[in-house]
Amino acid sequence: MRKSGRFLAAALSFALVLATPLSAQATKSGLSDAKSKKTALEAEKKKTEQELKNLEGLKSDTTAYVKKLDSSLESIGNELSKLGDDIDAKEKQIDTTKQELSEAKETEKSQYESMKLRIKYMYEKGDSTYVDLLMESGSLSELLSKAEYITKISSYDRQKLDEYAATKEKIAEKEKSLESEHAELLMLQDETEAKQASVEKLLAAKQTELQNYETKIASAEGQISEYAKSIEAQENQIKSIEAEIKRKEEEARKKAEEEKKKAAAANKAAQTYKTVSLGDISFTWPCPASGRITSGFGGRKSPTKGASSNHQGIDISAPTGTSIVAAAAGEVVIATYSSSAGNYVMISHGGGVYTVYMHASSLLVSQGQSVKKGQTIAKVGSTGYSTGSHLHFGVRVNGAYVNPTKYVSP
């Protein structure tokens, strides 16, 4: 059926929605999908409710028609029962009339017989030929016409005979008319029975129709209740999606706030570096992620074999992989490996000013390359004479190393 197919499709798409994880649906478009699915379900439910209303209208019309047919059948039944009574009465009347007719015939016959006897007696001594002729008459009418000549027959006998014959004729007429009335009644009975049969057939058809409406109504009601359940589930789904979106937004907001705090802290840390210009050069701190100086410039106890006891720069402790940036714009004059400095870079800033960056885990620039101030040039490591992951930062002015913290310090 088309209708149940439509419902099945809606139910299936609904099931698919449920099968998709909530977190994947918790987006503006997921929410909009869920809402439009709910709207579609509501439209289907409304449509089915309209169908139900139509079906109930049809059922009510058919019920009224069935009632009408029932009362029509009842009156046909009454008519038939009356006809049956009439037919019975007619048959009784016919029986009675037949009895009367047979009695009338008997009366007429006995009158005829006694009249014959009287005629015979009267003429026994007269013209025997004539009497014989009379006695040979085959029928009453023949006898009567012959008897016209017999003047001696008593007028009493003649009158009686005529009366009896008339009575017999009258009863016979009556019987004939009763028989015809009886036939008419039987015909009417046949017609009424045919009418009854056709109304019964129509009634049976209408009752089947009524049952069909009832089945369809039950199915529509079932569908409406299924739609209501689906709509309710969809509403819950929408609420869950909305809650999930809210939770995600809250999470994102908290994360953004934390990052803002971190950035502010980092900014604050970056802003704590003090710079003092060297001619027209202004340095930036070469390891923005760390301001921890573990070894200062100048005299010290050598930390490892081969390391200088007169420290020509400062050591900044930072994890391996931390960015090392150019302290100022310039040209890379050395980018290589040495057994003492490890991977290291030297940048010329002009005017006899150089900076040097040692012990890197990797180098990101090469000799002859121009770099901007703050550009990442290498990653912190522990290559060369080194006891741990750190950046050795040195500043050379006019052929001698100077204390870098004179120009940039945390």
- Token pair, residue 103, equals 């009695």
The span from the CA of 51 to the CA of 60, in Å, is 14
Contact between 359 and Zn ion by CB under 5 A: the answer reads no
Which span (40-48, 101-109, 247-255, 386-394) binds Zn ion, by CB under 5 A? 386-394
Contact between 297 and Zn ion by CB under 5 A: the answer reads no
The span from the CA of 331 to the CA of 350, in Å, is 9
Contact between 392 and Zn ion by CB under 5 A: the answer reads yes
The span from the CA of 356 to the CA of 335, in Å, is 10
**Of residues 30 and 394, the one with the C-beta less far from Zn ion:** 394
**Of residues 108 and 315, the one with the C-beta less far from Zn ion:** 315
**Of residues 244 and 315, the one with the C-beta less far from Zn ion:** 315
Q: Binders of Zn ion: how many residues, by CB under 5 A?
A: 2
- Least gap, CB of 22 to Zn ion (angstroms): 56
Q: Do 310 and 298 form a contact (C-beta atoms < 8 A)? A: yes
Can you say whether the dihedral through the CA atoms of 180, 181, 184, 190 is positive or negative? negative
Three-state DSSP at 382 gives coil
Query: Could you tell me which residues come within 8 angstroms of residue 325 by beta carbon, excluding any fewer than 6 positions away?
Result: 284, 286, 287, 288, 374, 375, 376, 377
- Least gap, CB of 363 to Zn ion (angstroms): 18
- Least gap, CB of 328 to Zn ion (angstroms): 20
Q: Do 60 and 209 form a contact (C-beta atoms < 8 A)? A: no
Which span (81-89, 90-98, 114-122, 390-398) binds Zn ion, by CB under 5 A? 390-398
**Of residues 314 and 363, the one with the C-beta less far from Zn ion:** 314
**Of residues 349 and 392, the one with the C-beta less far from Zn ion:** 392
Which residue number places its CB atom closest to Zn ion?
392
- Least gap, CB of 323 to Zn ion (angstroms): 19
Q: Give the count of beta carbons closer than 10 Å to the beta carbon of residue 166.
A: 12
- Least gap, CB of 295 to Zn ion (angstroms): 6
Q: Helices 28-122 and 155-271 meet at what angle, rounded to 10?
A: 180
- Least gap, CB of 311 to Zn ion (angstroms): 6
The site map against Zn ion for 302-331 (x = CB under 5 A) is: -------------x----------------
Cα of first residue to Cα of last residue in the chain, in angstroms, is 81
Q: Interface residues with Zn ion (CB under 5 A)?
A: 315, 392
